[in-house]
Structure 1
Amino acid sequence: MTSRRKFIADSCRGCLGLLGLSFIAQSCSTSSNVFKTNATNHVVFVPDTAFTSGLPNVKIRVPEMEFDILLMKEDADYKALYLKCTHEPFGLVQTNNKLVCTAHGSSFDMQGNVLQEPASRPLKKFKTEKIPTGINIYLR
């Protein structure tokens, strides 16, 4: 039988390990711009100028959404992923080549597919449309 003292010590070490993993994931994160905007009729407009830093990714922050959207430019195409873990509602951190949930360790590739459980479903993807002055992200 485990003593109360050993149980508490083991629990604290586990929590510190998760906290350390969180700091490591954040320190390995890839920088990206944060573009703040609003949705109109469930459509988010992102101007081309949001990509001015030369980075291929932009985090879109919309007050109506609990988590950010990652808008990625790939050649002439655009992809938008909701940065909400599908295991439990926690935000994701972008590293060099994946998206990581620092709460429970789930990870996703840049297409939104699960790489590491406990998440078992892919990330939510939003339809995008390139228009002459920018990109529309359709939230429905």
Structure 2
Amino acid sequence: MNQSRRNFLSAACTLCAAAVLAPAALAAVNEEDDDKKPKLKVEDGKVLIPAALIAEKLNSFKVKGLPRPLLLIKNPDAYDAYLLKCTHMGVAVKIDGDELACPAHGSRFNLQGGVIKGPAKEPLTRYKVNVVTDGVEVIVA
């Protein structure tokens, strides 16, 4: 085998290995980030989100007891909460600027949970939110 072919095969194998290992490395980094976030959970049909965690207009939280992340939107005079679960196939919806996007089939939702673009036909699940002394309480049951 000549040297240039050997170099090519070596480079190709290195690229393949990197392609296989990169997702695992990224997942490990994301898990570390998740480990730093406080653990939220459903208790008695409610999720208490401490005020200190509500820093941005759009706040996404993983909640033990919910199938997908919870989105809490901080408005000037109120809060809105939605389950980040696409109503088409149940895939986790991601925040994309001022919209919510499903990476699986391209459904898009506005910040009121309404469908902008299908294939989803139903709006996102919306939850009632109560402001309490130490944060907000999202009623999920």
Same-fold status (TM-score > 0.5): yes
**Residue 63 of structure 1: how far off its partner (Å):** 1.5
**Structure 1 residues 35 and 81: alpha-carbon distance in aligned structure 2, compared to 1, 3 A threshold:** farther
- 2:129 and 2:137 in contact (8 A); partners too: yes
Is 1:78 paired with 2:79? Answer: yes
CA RMSD of aligned residues (A): 1.2
State the number of aligned residues. Answer: 105
Highest Rg: 1 or 2?
Answer: 2
- 1:106 and 1:119 in contact (8 A); partners too: yes
**Residue 35 of structure 1: how far off its partner (Å):** 5.3
The aligned counterpart of 1:49 is 52
| Gaps in structure 1 of 5+ consecutive residues | 1-33
Question: Aligned partners of 1:134 and 1:45: how far apart in 2?
Answer: 7
The aligned counterpart of 1:109 is 110
SS class of match (2:53): helix
* Structure with the larger helix share: 2
Higher relative contact order (CA 8 A, sep 6+): 1
Question: What is the percentage of aligned positions where both structures have the same residue?
Answer: 29
SS class of match (2:47): strand
Q: Which residues of 2 match residues 1-140 of structure 1 at below 5 A?
A: 36-52=39-55, 55-140=56-141
Structure 1 runs of 4+ aligned residues shifted over 4 Å read none
**Residue 123 of structure 1: how far off its partner (Å):** 0.4
Question: Aligned partners of 1:103 and 1:70: how far apart in 2?
Answer: 19
